[in-house]
Each structure stands twice: as structure tokens, then as C-alpha cells.
């Protein structure tokens, strides 16, 4: 009975929040602030950023009404630029929230005055989004690569060849892969590239990576996230450990992650928005923040399938995902 009550209560709370967000998402002439949101694509990680941002900002703003106008480019760079132009052309927006690198680049290309808050962007400095006097602030999803490599060695101590599975067209992936290569070499491991140009390459390249690697390591990558079910089906069939950089993907069958909590990223970005809207801050007053993950997420079923165990040295940091 208690479980039923908890489930019903949870459903009610979700419904209530849904209507709150829907109310704030509509064109609201009574809103004190209006935020334009440009999301690169739809998949669980980026959706979690959006959810975290909206939930947290609504909570922070209290009785102050905020209207969200959400636009999704559905993975199209040209659509992202079109939406960015439309946002820029309207004077009703107080600031913009952009999710993932293509959205950030598109918005910054046209908007140089009103604040732009970024999230799920790995290296904003390398993209020339952040500089002296820039109108950009927010949260990067650069992970602690050294900690991730150490986790690989602890979980699969006999591994030598580490396959890097990523998309060649995603700037964020390329930046993170370069850091991964350096850390793997420093640890005495051999990084091997397995790059895809898009979703159509995923099956063939993942199968090749399984044949040529002891462990497969994936950066934060939109294509990887969108096709994670296919990737984990292949890696688990070949019984090859898949380490990801997005904690949410462990639930889809990846072995482990010591990476980004994207909902937390959205929540951190909401605090940036709150300061800009209510504390008379400027983007240049706010340093780019980085999410920190002090936990290791491990999929129990995949761990058992691979015949691996959780080392005692990391056991206290592990969150087991069923």
C-alpha cells in the first residue's frame, strides 16, 4: 500500500510540474522575463539539461513569472542557425539558454549583446565563445578524464587497447577525445580511433571497435547518446566493456561512467540565469562552471555479463544501476 501511495504521489507531482512548465513555456504577456531556449537535438542527456534548467529556475524565481520559448533544432545545424536568427530578431527575450555546441555556436554567431547561457558545451574557450567582454557564461560538460581513465584501469586492469568511439563532426567530441588520448598514453594505454560520420556508421564502426579493442571509451557525443541502445547491444554481444562519459547512458547498458550529470548541469545554468536576471550581473562577471562527479555509475547486469566485479578501492564511490 505504501508503495502505491508513493507512486501515485510521484505521478501527481510530475503532472503538477508539467502544467507549471507548460504555463511558463507559452507566450505569457504577464511574464516579467522571457527566455529563448535553443536545444541542439532531442535525446535523454540534452532533455535532462532542459528539464533541470526550467525546474530550478522556476524554483529560484518564486513568484516572479518567467516565460520559456523552447525551440529544438532536431540535430540540424542549419535549423539551429535559423532559430538563432529568429531569436536574435525579437526584442522580447531577456537572455538565451543554449544546449550543446551547435546551438551555442549558432546563437553566438548572431547575438553579441544579450546574455547567452551555455550548457553541454565541452570547450567554450576553444570555440571562441568565452573571451574578455563576452556575453557568454554557463556550464561546461568537460569531464575529469584522468579519473575516468583510472576507473577503466580499476575495472579492467588487463586492458591495453582502448577504442575511442566518437563522431568526427562534433566539435565537443573531438576536444574531449584529444584529452582522452593524452591521458590514456600517460597511463601506458594504447588509444585507437573509431570515428563515425553519423548514425549510419554506428553499427559497422562499433563492431570493428569491439574486434580491435579491449575496452571501448566514448566521450560526451550527441550521436553516441542518440544510438546508445544499438551500441550497447553490440558491445554486450561481443562482451566488450563500454565506458561512457554521460552517467545517464549506464542505464541503457553501458558498463560504467564517471562523467556528467546533465540534469545537474541544467540546474547550475539556472543559477547563472537567476544572477543575470535578479542580481544585475553580467556574463563577464560569471566564470564558466564545470560539473563535478564524485560517483561512479555501474550497470549491474552488464558487470555480471562481462564477468567483472567492483574493486574494493572504488566500492564506496559506486552507484549500482539495475
Its sign, for the CA torsion 285, 140, 110, 36, is negative
| Sequence-ordered list of residues with C-beta below 8 angstroms from that of 56, at least 6 positions apart, any chain | 266, 267, 270, 271
Residue-wise pLDDT for 83-92, tens only, equals 999 999 999 9
Q: 311: phi > 0 → left, psi -120 to 50 → alpha, else beta; which?
A: beta
In the chain, % of residues over pLDDT 90: 84
Higher pLDDT, 78 or 3: 78
**Residue 44 grid cell:** 535523454
Higher pLDDT, 161 or 44: 161
pLDDT band at 290 (very low <50, low <70, confident <90, very high): confident
pLDDT band at 57 (very low <50, low <70, confident <90, very high): very high
Residue-wise pLDDT for 180-225, tens only, equals 999 999 999 999 999 999 999 999 999 999 999 999 999 999 899 9
- The angle subtended at Cα 76 by Cα 87 and Cα 292, nearest 5°, is 80
Q: State the pLDDT at residue 305.
A: 98
Q: State the pLDDT at residue 276.
A: 97
In the chain, % of residues over pLDDT 70: 91
Its sign, for the CA torsion 219, 225, 226, 231, is positive
DSSP 152-212: HHHHSTT--EEEEEEETT-HHHHHHHHHHHHHHHHTT-EEEEEEESSGGGHHHHHHHHHHH
**H/E element, 54:** helix 44-61
Domains of the chain: 2-141+261-290 (3.40.50.2300), 145-260+294-321 (3.40.50.2300)
Residue-wise pLDDT for 292-309, tens only, equals 778 999 999 999 999 999
Whether the per-residue pLDDT at 10 is higher than 90: the answer is no
Give the integer Cα–Cα distance in Å for 273 and 58: 11
Mean pLDDT of 154-161: 97
Mean pLDDT for the chain overall: 91
Mean pLDDT of 60-86: 96
Whether the per-residue pLDDT at 20 is higher than 50: the answer is no
- Residue matched to cell numbers 507549471: 20
Among 190, 212, 292, 301, residue whose Cα is nearest residue 255: 301
Q: Is 10 exposed, middle or buried (0-12, 13-18, 19+ CB in 10 A)?
A: exposed
Q: How many other CB atoms are found less than 10 A from the CB of residue 1?
A: 5
Q: Are 136 and 289 in contact (CB under 8 A)?
A: no
Mean pLDDT of 277-288: 94
Mean pLDDT of 162-182: 95
Q: State the pLDDT at residue 29.
A: 58
In the chain, where do the E strands start and end?
33-39, 66-72, 95-99, 116-121, 136-140, 161-167, 190-196, 215-217, 242-246, 256-260, 289-290, 296-299, 318-321
Amino acid at each position: 500500500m505504501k508503495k502505491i501511495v508513493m507512486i501515485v504521489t510521484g505521478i501527481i507531482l510530475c503532472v503538477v510540474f508539467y502544467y507549471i512548465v507548460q504555463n511558463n513555456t507559452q507566450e505569457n504577456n504577464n511574464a516579467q522575463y522571457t527566455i529563448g531556449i535553443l536545444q541542439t537535438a532531442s535525446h535523454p542527456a540534452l532533455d535532462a539539461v532542459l528539464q533541470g534548467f526550467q525546474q530550478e529556475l522556476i524554483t529560484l524565481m518564486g513568484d516572479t513569472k518567467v516565460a520559456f520559448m523552447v525551440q529544438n533544432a532536431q540535430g540540424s545545424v542549419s535549423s539551429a542557425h535559423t532559430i538563432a536568427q529568429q531569436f536574435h530578431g525579437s526584442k522580447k527575450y531577456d537572455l538565451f539558454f543554449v544546449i550543446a555546441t551547435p546551438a551555442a555556436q549558432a546563437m553566438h554567431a548572431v547575438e553579441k549583446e544579450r546574455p547567452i547561457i551555455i550548457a553541454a558545451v565541452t570547450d567554450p574557450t576553444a570555440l571562441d565563445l568565452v573571451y574578455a567582454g563576452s556575453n557568454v557564461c554557463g556550464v561546461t560538460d568537460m569531464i575529469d578524464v584522468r579519473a575516468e581513465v583510472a576507473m577503466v584501469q580499476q575495472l579492467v586492469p588487463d586492458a591495453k587497447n582502448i577504442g575511442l568511439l566518437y563522431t568526427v563532426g562534433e566539435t565537443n567530441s573531438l576536444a574531449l577525445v584529444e584529452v582522452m588520448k593524452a591521458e590514456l598514453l600517460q597511463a601506458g594505454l594504447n588509444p585507437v580511433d573509431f570515428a563515425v560520420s553519423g548514425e549510419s556508421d554506428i553499427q559497422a564502426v562499433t563492431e570493428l571497435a569491439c574486434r580491435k579493442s579491449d575496452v571501448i571509451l566514448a566521450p560526451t557525443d550527441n550521436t553516441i547518446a542518440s544510438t546508445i541502445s544499438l551500441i550497447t547491444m553490440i558491445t554486450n554481444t561481443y562482451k566488450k566493456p563500454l565506458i561512457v562519459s554521460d552517467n545517464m547512458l549506464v542505464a541503457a547498458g553501458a558498463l560504467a561512467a564517471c562523467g556528467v550529470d546533465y540534469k545537474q548541469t541544467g540546474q547550475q545554468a539556472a543559477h547563472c540565469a537567476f544572477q543575470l536576471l535578479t542580481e544585475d550581473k553580467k556574463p563577464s562577471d560569471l566564470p564558466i562552471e564545470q560539473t563535478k562527479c564524485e560517483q561512479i555509475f555501474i550497470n549491474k547486469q552488464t558487470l555480471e555479463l562481462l564477468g567483472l566485479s567492483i574493486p574494493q578501492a572504488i566500492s564506496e564511490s559506486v552507484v549500482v544501476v539495475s
